[in-house]
Chains A and B, each alone.
Chain A
Amino acid sequence: MGGFTGRDVLSIADFSRKDIESILKAAKKMVPVARGERTSRALEGKILATLFFEPSTRTRLGFESAMKRLGGDAIGFSSAEGTSVQKGETLADTVRMVESFSDVIVVRHPQEGAARLAAEFTDKPVINAGDGAGQHPTQTLLDLYTIWDERNGIDGTKIALVGDLKYGRTVHSLTHALCDFDVDLTFVAPAGLQMPKEVVEHVRARGIPLAMTEDLAGVVPNLDVLYVTRIQKERFPDPQEYAKVAGSYRVDTALLRDARKGLIVLHPLPRVDEIATEVDGTPHARYFEQAFNGVPVRMALLSLILEGSS
Chain B
Amino acid sequence: MRDLKVTPIKNGTVIDHIPSGMALKLLKVLGITEAVSSTVSILVHVPSKRKGWKDIVKVEDRELNPRELNKIALLAPEATINIIRNYNVAEKHTVTLPERAVGILRCGNPNCITNSREPVESVFLVTGKEPLRLRCQYCERELEDVATQVL
Interface residues of A (CB under 8 A from B): 11, 13, 88, 90-92, 109-114, 116-117, 120, 131-135, 198
Contact = CB atoms under 8 A, between A and B. Distances in A.
A90 B116 CA distance: 9
A112 B118 contact: no
B90 interface: no
Contacts of B119: 90, 92
B82 interface: no
B140 A11 contact: yes
Residues of B contacting A: mostly: loop
Contact of B140 (A88, A92, A112, A120): A112
Contacts of B118: 90-92, 117
Closest 4 CB pairs of A and B: A113-B138, A112-B139, A113-B113, A113-B139
A116 B139 CA distance: 9
B129 interface: no
Contacts, number: 55
A310 to B, nearest CB: 29
B137 interface: yes
B112 A113 contact: yes
B141 A116 contact: no
A116 B138 contact: yes
A251 to B, nearest CB: 30
Interface in B133-151: 136-142
Nearest to B119: A92
Nearest to B136: A113
A111 B139 CA distance: 8
Nearest to A198: B142
A160 B111 CA distance: 30
Nearest to B137: A116
Contacts of A92: 118-120
B109 interface: yes
Contacts of A112: 109, 111-113, 138-141
Given A113-B138, A116-B113, A132-B111, 19 more contacts: A90-B116, A92-B120, A111-B112, A111-B113, A112-B111, A112-B139, A112-B140, A113-B113, A113-B114, A113-B137, A114-B113, A116-B137, A116-B138, A117-B113, A117-B118, A117-B138, A120-B120, A133-B111, A135-B140
Interface string B103-119: 00000010111101111
Interface string B39-79: 00000000000000000000000000000000000000000
